[in-house]
Amino acid sequence: MSSSRLYVSELSSSEHNFLNYHFCRGNNSKNKTRLGIIKKGNGTYIYLNKKLNVNEGDVVFIPENIYCYSEWIGDPEIEVMYVNCFLHYEGFCYEPQLIFCDEKTKKTLIRINELLFLGDIEELEAYSLFYTILQKILPNMKKSNISTDKILRNAMAYITDNWKNNFSVSDVAKECCVSESTIYHLFRKELGQTPITFLNSIKINHAINYLENSKYSIATISRLVCFNSENHFRKVFADVTGMTPLKFRKRS
């Protein structure tokens, strides 16, 4: 690391709280590197053709340059806290991974989260503490030669931005200036799923939000998240969450 200068910009923090199940559609190239603590629940980060399972108490590193989405299960609560930043370093080559650190480091991450909400002077202390954490964890982190496919990232971005619109895989291919078969190949190779499965996961995430925060009927929610039929919606919902929409709404 001595051959290149490493520095951090736009340090921030975020906390995420959900009940029972949550699908997060993922980050893109504009998102920050995240160092997070899983306070409650457990989850799976999915990126390219790999999966990273995390449990309560784990510390996880998610770099900004790899498209990564996640699924979460709580009993019933899910609580995750991230310290976020743009991490500038030439040849940065890490991938999502668990960080094995002591309780002192975990408490320092929580302290950074607190400091970032207090004021400008406290923010300086937060930066100082974050550099201390990086100095401690980076030498022990697993490096990777992994590279993200720009076509795949563009396809994912198009689907996530247009999930409510009536588009086909052919439209995605045209947007990315490649063939439809190339899109299918990239999704299967790198994500282990089809573009339609990826789209349906996004729709179900929005359906879960309606189930948790509205009194809309199942039929209405099915239309709001753009399924052609209620029966198809119920089937896809069960495939993704392991339960029917009604059972999900009535869960204790």
At 121-136, the pLDDT tens digits run: 999 999 999 999 999 9
pLDDT of res. 2: 45
Percent of the chain with pLDDT over 90: 50
pLDDT of res. 226: 94
Is this model's pTM higher than 0.85 or not? no
Percent of the chain with pLDDT over 70: 92
| Mean pLDDT across the chain | 87
Q: Is the pLDDT of residue 156 over 90?
A: no
Q: Is the pLDDT of residue 169 over 80?
A: yes
Portions of the chain given CATH number 1.10.10.60:
150-250
Give the span between the Cα atoms of 8 and 231, in whole angstroms. Answer: 49
Give the three-class secondary structure for 161. Answer: helix
Q: What is the mean pLDDT of residues 55-67?
A: 88
Give the span between the Cα atoms of 195 and 201, in whole angstroms. Answer: 10
Q: Is the pLDDT of residue 23 over 80?
A: no
Which one has a higher pLDDT value, 11 or 248? Answer: 11
Give the span between the Cα atoms of 80 and 16, in whole angstroms. Answer: 5
Which one has a higher pLDDT value, 161 or 251? Answer: 161
pLDDT of res. 122: 93
pLDDT of res. 10: 93
pLDDT of res. 212: 82
Give the span between the Cα atoms of 42 and 34, in whole angstroms. Answer: 17
Q: What is the mean pLDDT of residues 234-244?
A: 89
Q: Is the pLDDT of residue 245 over 90?
A: yes
pLDDT of res. 48: 65
What tokens appear for 237 in the block?
Answer: 């919902």
Does the 7-140 domain belong in CATH 2.70.70.10?
Answer: no
pLDDT of res. 1: 40
pLDDT of res. 28: 47
Portions of the chain given CATH number 2.60.120.280:
7-140
Q: For 24-40, what is each residue's pLDDT tens digit?
A: 766 544 578 999 999 99
Q: What is the mean pLDDT of residues 163-185?
A: 94
Class of domain 150-250: mainly alpha
Pairing of strands 69-88, 33-40: antiparallel
Is the alpha carbon torsion for 136, 137, 141, 143 positive or negative? negative
pLDDT of res. 27: 56
pLDDT of res. 167: 93
Q: What is the mean pLDDT of residues 220-231?
A: 94
What are the contacts of 144-147 at 24+ separation with CB within 8 A? 144/93, 144/94, 144/95, 145/93, 146/48, 146/66, 146/93, 146/95
pLDDT of res. 194: 92
**What Cα–Cα distance (Å) separates residue 36 from each residue in 56, 86, 108, 178, 205?**
11, 14, 12, 36, 21
Q: For 187-196, what is each residue's pLDDT tens digit?
A: 888 777 899 9
